[in-house]
Amino acid sequence: MSATIPTAAVDTDAARQLLIDLVDTPSVTPEEEAAAAVLVDFFEAHGREVWVDDVGNVRAPADDGVLLTSHIDTVPGDIPVRVETMAAGEARFGGESDLLDAAESIDVLWGRGSVDAKGPLASMAVVAVETGASFVGVVGEEVDSRGGRYLVEDREAEPDAVINGEPSGWEGITLGYRGLLGGNYVATSESGHSSRPDDNAIQDAINWWNRVEEEFDPDDWVPVFERVTPKPTSIDGGMTEDGLSVEATMRLQLRVPPEYTTDEIREITDGHLENGTVHWDDRVEPVMMSPRTEPARAFRAAIRQEGGDPRLLRKTGTSDMNVYADSWDCPMVTYGPGDSDLDHSPNEHLPLPEYDRSVAVLRSATETLLEE
């Protein structure tokens, strides 16, 4: 690591305060500026070079042996921000090991983004300051990954390793995400009396979607991660204003496992078209990393060092890790505190002892990778 990169110890109280400040600062996509300013202040206070780029990412470049990155934005949802003292057994931890007595009193942070993903974001900012690793807080992950996409286009060189921040539980290491294919189906038919047997555009949309669902109908024993999951997200149809046609529009998504590419899924779904067209406008390739990479090994060792039992995870959604893996040929994992079942939920909360442990795990894994 270069001697020109300043490092500084961040104690537990300061690390927790950064997290609380971030959660207390709303950052619903695309309004991330205020939370970005919290991160900028944190890095400047610790002597690190930092700036906000053209799309709103917070960038603190340093040792590219490791790039620590998580997202600043959250989904909407008004959850009063507070720290409550609760029994450990009543809080939702993102890990399996019971290192606390169920009756022990702990502090729990409530608020939108406490899990997804300001817990991971704050822990990465803290560890970047402590170790001298590179850091980027990206924008737009909850909508279109505009921050992550800009980052891979704008950086001159790829990092040696990427640790992406999303809730995995402090003992979890996420190695894979399904991809995403999204688009709009559009069909038009001539108007006619509803008693006629001919299918109209609405029926064309329904019939096509039924064929797509049948194509990807899995056996019950196939894990969700390995399935193609088709999902209509909206549908609109009816008579046009001039009364001469029937139109139908369906917004759809298909989650794509690593067995396929998005192009392969597009060809399969287009092959079932008889009427209408699909305008595909959203593609994210799936990713699956080996458990034998240096980052995966470093995290397994770090979790065991903190008394945990490492769990290797595959997520059925997508994240910015998909974007990075599609552009950078380097090993990566996703890691962060929190129970991902609380993502976007009305009771989103993060036990602060879990956050503390994740900081310790992340610090140890990052130091190991920077030394290699």
Name the residue ranges covered by the structural domains of the chain: 12-177+287-371, 179-284
Q: Which two tokens stand for residue 52?
A: 């906000």
DSSP 8-state class, residue 28: B
Query: For the whole prediction, is pTM greater than 0.85?
Result: yes
pLDDT band at 39 (very low <50, low <70, confident <90, very high): very high
In the predicted model, what is the mean pLDDT of residues 340-348?
94
Q: Which of 63, 73, 160, 285 is catalytic?
A: 73
User: For 179-284, CATH number?
Assistant: 3.30.70.360
- For 311, list phi and psi in degrees, rounded to 5: -125, 130
Active site residue 141: yes
Q: Which two tokens stand for residue 248?
A: 């139908």
Decide if pLDDT at 18 tops 70: yes
Q: Which of 63, 116, 130, 141 is catalytic?
A: 141
pLDDT of the residue at 57:
98
In the chain, the percentage of residues whose pLDDT exceeds 70 is: 97
The distance in angstroms from the start CA to the end CA of the chain is 10
Rg, the chain, Cα only: 23
Active site residue 73: yes
Q: What is the spatial distance between Cα 118 and Cα 134, in angstroms, rounded to a whole number?
A: 18
**Which residues fall within 8 angstroms of residue 89, CB to CB, at 6 or more apart?**
102, 103
User: For 12-177+287-371, CATH number?
Assistant: 3.40.630.10
